[in-house]
Amino acid sequence: MSLQITCRNPACGAALKLNDSLAGKKVRCPKCAKIFEAEAPATLDLPRENETLPLPSTPRQSIVGSATPLHVSNSNTLIDDRPLMAQGVPVIERIGRFQIRTKLGEGAFGEVFRAYDPQLDREVALKVAKPGTLTTPDRIERFLREAKSAANLRHPNIVPLFDTGRDGARYFIASAFIQGRTLEAELEEGHLTQTDTARIIRKLAEALAYAHSQGIIHRDVKPANVMIDEQGEPHLMDFGLAARAESGEEKLTQEGVAMGTPAYMAPEQAKGEQEKVGPASDQYSLGCTLYEMLVGHTPFSGAPAQQLFLHQTNIPKSPRSLNRGVPRDLDTVVMKCLEKEVGKRYADCQELAEDLRRWASGEPITARRAGQVERLVKWTKRNPAVAGLMAAVVLVSIVGGTISYLNYRQAQTEATNAKKQEGIAQTEAANAKTQEGIAIEKADLATKEAKESRRLLDLSRLRSAQADFRNNLVQVAHDTLVPRPS
C-alpha cells in the first residue's frame, strides 16, 4: 500500500509516494532533506514492482550503502526488515552463494538485502545493482568502485567489504552487516550528548584519516552513511562515490558535475571541480555532520541547487550563535572544518581528531577563531563584485564626507573671523564713545576755567577801582570799572 504526500517545505513542494506504514511518522524529503510528519492517506494503493520509496525517519536497521545512489542525489530509501513477500516485491531467494533474508533498502541504481553467506557462516549486507542500470562498462566500473575503494581498508570504524561478483545479469557487493541504525536515525531521536557527538566525529575523523593515508577519498560523508552499532560505535560505510587519488579514478566522473549529497558538499565539490576534491573535502563534509549533530540541521537548507550555491558563497551561522549551549571550542572546531578555502581547514582529519580529543579531555584546542578583519577579507574574496561596489560606495562617501567637512571648516572659520571683526568694531565704537566723553569733559573744564578767569579779572578790576576811589581818583576808578569800547 502507498500514500501520496507533498513536502511541507514551501521552497520544495515535491510530490512523494511513501509506504502507508509511515503514516503519522516523521519522514525526510529526498529532495530538500526537510523532516516532517507524513499525514494519514486519503486513499491507499498497492506499490508497483521495484518502486523506489523514501527513507522513514527512524529505520529499525540499515546497512552498508543501503540508500545512497552512486551519483548526485538527495534521495534516501526505505529500510524495511519485513519478509520480502510482505514488502510487495518479487521474492529473490539467492544471489550467487548468498541466501537472501530480507530487503533492507533501495536506491535509484541498486537494492540492498540482508543475506546469509553459508560458505563463511555469517550474515552480510548485499548491495545488488538493478537490472538495466549497468548498461555500459563505465557504469559497471562505477558500481564496483566501492569494492575497489574499500577492499583493502581495515579500520575498526570502517565497514569491511567481503566480496564482489556477478550472478547472471546481477552485479553485487557483499559487506559486513552492522546491527544497529544510521547516525541519521540517531539524530532524529535527539539523544546524543555533546560528549557522544565529539567521540563519534573523532572516530570518524580517524577512520577518514586512515582511508586518506591509503589514497581513498570518500566524497559522500553524511549521517546516512554512518552506522551506529549496538555498542554505540560509529562505522563509516558506502564508498560508492569514493576515488583512489593516485589512480585517476576521478576520470569516471564528469568534470563540472557535482558528485555527492548537496547538504554536505565541500565548496570545491559543489563546483564540480573533481580534480580539487581531496581529503579536505571529506573533512568539510564531516564538519557539516558535526554541525548538524550540534544544532539539529545542516549548515544550509533549501533545494539542492540552492544548497550547492550557498556552500560555495556563504559562511554559515556558527553553531554557538544558534545554540548557546554549544561550547566555544567545539564551535571553533566546526567553523574551521567549514572554511571555504582548503588551506584554512585542518591539515588533515587526524588533526581534527586530535582537537576533538583535546576538547573531550579539557585541554586547549589548536584551532583559533577568525578575527573580524580575517572574516572581512574572506567575505571580500568570495564576493568581489559586491565588495567592489561597496568599496566604491564607501570611497564616494569618504570623498563626499571629506569635502563636506572641509566646507564646514571653511564656513566655521569665516564665521569666527566675522565674529572677531564684529568684536573689533564694537571695541572701536566703545573707544570712540569713551574719547567723546573725554572731549566733552575737557570742553566743560575749559568753559569752567574761562569763567573762572573772567571772574578773577573782574575781581581784580574791582579791587583796583576801590584803591583808586580811596585815593580820590574817581575818574580812574570809573574807567577801570567801565572800560571804554574798543
The SS3 assignment for 5 reads strand
Q: Write out the DSSP string of 173-205.
A: EEEEPPSEEEHHHHHHHT---HHHHHHHHHHHH
272-280 — which CB contacts under 8 Å span 24+ positions?
A: 274/250, 275/250, 276/342, 277/217, 277/219, 277/243, 277/250, 278/217, 278/245, 278/342, 279/208, 279/212, 279/217, 279/348, 279/349, 280/342, 280/345
- CA–CA dist 461, 3 (Å, integer): 149
Helix axes 194-213, 279-295, angle to 10 degrees: 170
CA gap 215, 152 in Å, rounded = 11
Q: List Cβ neighbours of 341 (8 Å cut-off, separation of 6 or more).
A: 378
Catalytic annotation present for 220 = yes
Rounded to 10 degrees, the C-alpha dihedral 215/219/220/225 comes to 10
Helices 279-295 and 328-337: angle between axes, nearest 10 degrees: 140
Q: Please tell me the distance from the alpha carbon of residue 257 to that of residue 247, in angstroms, as a whole number.
A: 20
Q: Which of 80, 163, 220, 468 is flagged as catalytic?
A: 220
User: Which residues are within 8 A (CB) of 23 and not within 5 positions of it... i.e. 6 or more apart?
Assistant: 3, 38, 39, 40, 41
* CA 128 – CA 173 distance, rounded (Å): 7
What the block records as the C-alpha cell of 436 is 567723546
Which residues are catalytically annotated? 220
